[in-house]
């Protein structure tokens, strides 16, 4: 796995830079195109290890499958739904970029959960950055995970899942309020109803 700082920059080799400059200076579009394609294909060899963490049922598997352009039931797809939790990280390489690996880490937030112990057990240094999947509620252990990741010098992003459930809930609440106000207005003297 990559060491800290190793993937912070994507750099071309000195030879790639010289070849690009020479092709550009000579105005040789075919050579310039070839050297650019070589440079881009070398980017496919960069390794990236991304840890995906969250509670059981927070759609980590759906996120991993979507990122990898797979559907539930496809060969190599992460198991979705209520599945038995795993005790170790499970690797899911990207089909086009096999060195880009999403790691599905064990569930967080169970009774007795300790963010500090979890971070120690999961070997934080092994991953380039973290995706913290949260649905419906941001909980205190999400904040604790972020705290320990920041303390370890690791980047992290929060990914909100199940947004459609929240939108539907808000829609229902607003419909009830609207209905309430319409009913109230229709019985008041001087209303237009």
Q: Report mean pLDDT in 10-residue bins for the chain, 193 residues.
A: 45 79 76 74 78 78 86 83 71 86 84 77 88 80 86 86 69 81 68 52
Cα–Cα distance measured from residue 40 to residue 161, given in angstroms and rounded to the nearest whole number: 32
Q: What is the pLDDT of residue 92?
A: 92
At 21, give phi and psi (nearest 5°). Answer: -60, -45
Selection from 87, 116, 96, 100 nearest residue 51 by Cα: 100
Report how many domains make up the chain: 2
| pLDDT at residue 163 in the model | 60
175, part of any domain: no
Compute CA distances 47 → 50, 134, 152, 158, whole Å. Answer: 10, 26, 20, 22
Please report the pLDDT score of residue 103 as a whole number.
93
pLDDT for residue 41? 72
Q: Do 98 and 127 fall within a single domain?
A: yes
Q: Which two three-digit tokens encode residue 61?
A: 């598997």
| 40 within a domain of the structure (yes/no) | yes
Contact 104, 80 (CB under 8 A): no
Domain residue limits at 108: 48-158
pLDDT at residue 43 in the model = 63
List strand residue ranges (DSSP E) for the chain, in order. 48-54, 90-93, 100-104, 129-135, 155-161
89 shares a domain with 60: yes
Are 61 and 37 found together in one domain? no
Predicted pLDDT at 7: 46
In a domain, 171, yes or no: no
Beta bridge partners of 103: 51, 91
Residues in the chain: 193
């Amino acid at each position: 796995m990559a060491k800290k700082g190793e993937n912070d920059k994507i750099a071309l080799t000195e030879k790639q830079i010289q070849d690009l400059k020479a092709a550009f200076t000579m105005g040789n579009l075919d050579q310039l195109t070839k050297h650019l394609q070589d440079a881009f294909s070398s980017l496919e060899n960069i390794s990236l290890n991304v840890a995906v963490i969250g509670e059981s049922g927070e759609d980590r598997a759906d996120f991993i499958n979507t990122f990898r352009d797979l559907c539930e039931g496809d060969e190599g797809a992460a198991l979705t739904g209520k599945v038995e939790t795993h005790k170790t990280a499970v690797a899911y390489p990207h089909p086009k970029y096999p060195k880009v690996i999403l790691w599905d880490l064990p569930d967080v937030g169970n009774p007795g959960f300790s963010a500090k112990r979890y971070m120690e057990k999961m070997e934080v240094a092994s991953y380039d950055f973290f995706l913290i999947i949260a649905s419906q509620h941001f909980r205190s252990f999400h904040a604790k995970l972020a705290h320990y990741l920041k303390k370890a010098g690791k980047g992290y992003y929060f990914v909100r899942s199940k947004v459609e459930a929240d939108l539907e809930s808000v829609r229902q609440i607003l419909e009830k309020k609207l209905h309430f106000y319409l009913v109230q207005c229709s019985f008041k003297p001087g209303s237009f109803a």
